Amino acid sequence: MQVARVVVDVPLAHLDRPFDYAVPEKFAGTVQAGCRVRVRFRGRLVDGVVWELADTTEFAGALQPLSHVPSGEPVLTPQVARLVRAVADRYAGTASDVLRLALPPRRAAAEKRESPTPEALPAVPDPAGFARYPAGPALLGALAEGRPARAVWTALPGEDWPSRLVELCRAALSGRRGSLVVVPDGKDLDRLTAAAERLLPEHSFTVLRADDSPEKRYRRFLAASRGAAQVVLGTRAAMFAPVRDLGLVVVWDDGDDLHSDEHAPYPHARDVLVQRAWLDSCAAVVAGTSRTAEAALLVESGWAHELVADRAALRAAAPRVQALGEDFELARDAAARTARLPSLAFDTARSALAAGTPVLVQVPRRGYVPSLSCARCRAPARCPHCAGPLGISPRPGPGGGRIPACRWCARPAATFDCPHCHGTKLRAAVVGESRTAEELARAFPGTTVRTSGSTSGVLATVPAGPALVVATPGAEPVADGGYGAALLLDSWALLGRADLRAGEETLRRWTNAAALVRPAPAGGRVIVAADAAHPVVQALVRWDPAWLAARELADRRELGFPPVTRMASLAGSPAALAEFLAAARLPADADLLGPVPERPRPGQEGERERYLVRVPRAEGAALAHALAEVQGVRSAKKAPEHVRVQLDPLDLV
C-alpha cells in the first residue's frame, strides 16, 4: 500500500505535522510528492499538499484514502519543503501558514500549457560592470564555477544595479545553476525585468509579481517549478520560488520594510534567503545602496565578505553632499537650521534648473498635511471620538477651506481642545508631498512640478528637462541622465522617530534618493536639511554606510537589541497574555520586557498589551520552539483569545 503524508491546510498549531492517507489505486499513477490533494479531515474536505510518499505507516488503525487529486503537478519541491519547515520553526509558525505564502492558488488552464525553455545557455558576462569593485570579477567567476560565494554589496551612487544583478544571474546560469532575486516593490521589479530582457536568453527567466492575474502568476510559477526558467525575479513572495539547481540568491535593499511579510509567521525575505543559501549550499548576495545592521553582522561573523568600491571610484561617482547645519552655512544664513527651504537649498535648486536638469525633492510623508499637533505643547492631535490622528486632506471642504479630519473615522474636527494643555490651535507636524509641491510651485513660478507617491501615483521615470520632482521615500522616479540636485527635507521627521532602526532607515532612504543624482564632477549636489554633526548625516556626507552599520551593530550589541539578540513580540489581551506566559517554558536567559499598551489600530476593540521576550542569538531556536509549543497547547484547548506571536519584528515601539 502506498502512503501519502499530507500537510493539511488547517491553521491550528497543534496539527502542525503531516498526516498519513492511503493512496487509492485510481490515483496511484497521478500522486507525486509535492502535488495538491483533497482529503477528509475531521469530517470536512480540506486542501493539502503531499509532503512525501512512503510504503509504510506508524498509524495503527485503517488509513483514510485521498478524496481527490486535482492535479499531479509537483508544485512543492523537496528543497522548498525543507525550507518551509525551517522557516516555520524559525518564526514559531506552522508549515501550513508558510505554504500559503509559498504556493500560489492553482489554475487548471495554466497547468495545461507547456513552459518553453531557452535554446542555449548564456556565456559568462563581461566583468567590466563590476570592475569598479575590486572583488567583483572574482565573484562573477565563483558563480560561474558554482562555488557558494557570499557577499554584502554596497552599490556605488548612480550604479545600474539592475544590470549588475542580472549579470550575477547570468554568471550562475552559464554554470547551469539557477538564481533567485528578490526586490522590494514593483517599480524595482520593472527595472530588473528590463535588464533581464536585455542580458538573458529568452525563456530563461520568469517574473513573479503580486499584481499579476492568478492565471499568469501560476503559469510563471510553473515555469520555475518545471525547471524551464532557472532565473526567478520577484518581490517578497518569490523568496519561496521553486528554482531548480539553485546556485544564487539575491536580496536588493534588504532594509526596506516591504521585505517583511504581513502574514503569519511574518518571515523576512533577507533571513529566508540567507537560510536558503545555507540549506542549499549556494551563493548569496545582500545588496543595496546602504547597509543594515543585519548585513553588517553577516560581514562581521565571516559568513559574507564585503563587495565595495575603493574611495577613488566612490569620489568619482558620488554627488557632493552638504548639510544645512554646517557652521559655514549657519554663519551665512541664520535661518538655515529652522527654515524648511533655506537659501542654500533654494539656490541649489535654482542653479540645477537653470542648467536644464531636474531636481528631486524628497519629503518623508505622503498626502497634504498628514499629521497635526497642538500649536502650544506640540502634542499629537487626536480625534475625540476614536483617538485617531488628525490630518488635512488636499481636497477642500464644502465651504472651500480645508478642515482637519480624523484619518481613521473621517469625522471632521471643526474645533480642537488639547487634553494636555487645553490649547485650541493646530499646527502642521508633518507636511506631505502634495503641500510641498504647492509651496515649491509658488517659490519657482513657471517651473514644472511633478509629484510621485502613493497619493498622486508613482512615476517610474521623468524626462531630462528642468522640473521639480517631489517624491516620498521609495517613490523617487529615475531621471534621464540623472538629477542635477536633490533636496532631502524634513529630516527630523525621520531621525526623530522612536524606532530602533530610525538611523539606518533614514540613511537608506537618503542614499536611495542621492544615488539618482549626477556625480559631483558633473555638477550633482545633494542638500540634506539636518544637523551636520549627526552620525547619520556624516555617513551620508562621506558616503560611508558601512561605517554607520558597524556603529549601529556595536550600539545594539551593548544594549542587547537585534540582530545581536533575538526578540519576540507577544500581543493580546491581558488575560490571554498572562495565560500564555504562565504556560511558556522560556529559555533560562530569556528577558521579559513589559507589558505596555499595544499601539491602537483602526477598528481594534478592547484593551490589548504587548510583551517583548529577548534572548541571546544562540537561544533563538529554543525561544521559537517554546513559543510554538504554547501556541500548540492553546490551540488544542481551543483558547478563546488569540495571542499574536512575531519573532524578529521590525517595529519594537
Q: Are 548 and 599 part of one and the same domain? A: no
3-state secondary structure of 330: helix
> Which CATH number is 77's domain given?
3.40.1440.60
Q: Are 338 and 466 part of one and the same domain? A: yes
Q: What was the pLDDT predicted at 604?
A: 60
Q: Are 322 and 457 part of one and the same domain? A: yes
Q: Are 327 and 260 part of one and the same domain? A: no
Please say if the pLDDT value at position 371 is more than 70.
no
> Which CATH number is 574's domain given?
3.30.70
Q: What was the pLDDT predicted at 602?
A: 54
* Binding-site annotation: residue ranges: 374, 377, 383, 386, 406, 409, 418, 421
Residue predicted with more confidence, 390 or 23 = 23
Boundaries of domain holding 585 = 565-647
Residue predicted with more confidence, 441 or 32 = 32
**Average pLDDT over every residue of 202-223:** 95
Q: Are 58 and 15 part of one and the same domain? A: yes
Residue predicted with more confidence, 584 or 364 = 584
Percent of the residues in the chain that have a pLDDT greater than 90, as a whole number: 75
Percent of the residues in the chain that have a pLDDT greater than 70, as a whole number: 92
Q: What was the pLDDT predicted at 328?
A: 44
Is 416 part of any domain? no
Is 652 part of any domain? no
* CA-wise closest residue to 171 among 137, 219, 120: 137
CA atoms within 13 A on the CB side of 648: 28
Is 387 part of any domain? no
Q: How far apart (Å, rounded) are the C-alpha atoms in residues 622 and 585?
A: 9
pTM of the model as a whole: 0.88
Is 421 part of any domain? no
Query: Which of 511, 527, 555 finishes a domain?
Result: 555
Peptide linkage before 184 cis (omega within 30 of 0):
no
Q: How far apart (Å, rounded) are the C-alpha atoms in residues 286 and 229?
A: 23
Q: What was the pLDDT predicted at 197?
A: 97
Total domains in the fold of the chain: 4
**Average pLDDT over every residue of 326-352:** 66
Q: Using pLDDT thresholds of 50, 70 and 90, give the confidence band for residue 334.
A: very low
Q: Using pLDDT thresholds of 50, 70 and 90, give the confidence band for residue 402.
A: low
Q: What is the CA radius of gyration of the chain?
A: 27
Helices and strands (DSSP H and E) totals, the chain = 19, 27
Least confident span in 51-60, 517-526, 619-628: 51-60
Please say if the pLDDT value at position 607 is more than 90.
no
Q: Are 175 and 50 part of one and the same domain? A: no
Q: What is the pLDDT of residues 540-556, one digit of tens each?
A: 999 999 999 999 999 99
Q: Are 456 and 551 part of one and the same domain? A: yes
Q: What was the pLDDT predicted at 379?
A: 75
Q: What was the pLDDT predicted at 6?
A: 97
The contacts of residue 36 (CB under 8 Å, 6+ apart) are: 47, 48, 49, 50, 69, 70, 71, 73, 75, 106
Query: Which of 70, 104, 138 finishes a domain?
Result: 104
* Binding-site annotation: residue ranges for Zn(2+): 374, 377, 383, 386, 406, 409, 418, 421
Q: Are 329 and 443 part of one and the same domain? A: yes
Q: Using pLDDT thresholds of 50, 70 and 90, give the confidence band for residue 653.
A: low
Please say if the pLDDT value at position 338 is more than 60.
no
Q: Using pLDDT thresholds of 50, 70 and 90, give the confidence band for residue 93.
A: very high
Q: Are 38 and 149 part of one and the same domain? A: no
Q: What was the pLDDT predicted at 143?
A: 97
Q: What is the pLDDT of residues 158-188, one digit of tens each?
A: 999 999 999 999 999 999 999 999 999 999 9
Q: Using pLDDT thresholds of 50, 70 and 90, give the confidence band for residue 431.
A: low
Q: Are 356 and 463 part of one and the same domain? A: yes
Strand partners, 39: 46
**Average pLDDT over every residue of 463-469:** 95
Q: What was the pLDDT predicted at 531?
A: 87
Q: What was the pLDDT predicted at 327?
A: 47
**Average pLDDT over every residue of 96-120:** 94
Question: How much helix, strand and coil, in percent to the nearest 5, is found in the chain?
Answer: 35, 20, 45
Q: What was the pLDDT predicted at 248?
A: 98
Least confident span in 89-98, 116-125, 620-629: 116-125
Q: How far apart (Å, rounded) are the C-alpha atoms in residues 413 and 114?
A: 59
Q: What is the pLDDT of residues 501-514, one digit of tens each?
A: 889 999 999 999 99
Q: Are 235 and 345 part of one and the same domain? A: no
Query: Which of 313, 336, 355 finishes a domain?
Result: 313
* 217-255 residues labelled b (16+ CB within 10 A) or e (exposed): bbbbbbbbbbebbbbbbbbbbbbbbbbbbbbbbbbbbbb
Is 385 part of any domain? no
Q: What was the pLDDT predicted at 635?
A: 95
**Average pLDDT over every residue of 516-535:** 94
> Which CATH number is 247's domain given?
3.40.50.300
Please say if the pLDDT value at position 202 is more than 50.
yes
Write down the residue that cell numbers 491602537 correspond to. 600
Is 483 part of any domain? yes
Is 283 part of any domain? yes
Average pLDDT over the chain reads 90
**Average pLDDT over every residue of 365-385:** 70
Q: What was the pLDDT predicted at 404?
A: 83
Q: Are 577 and 610 part of one and the same domain? A: yes
Please say if the pLDDT value at position 326 is more than 80.
no
Is 330 part of any domain? yes
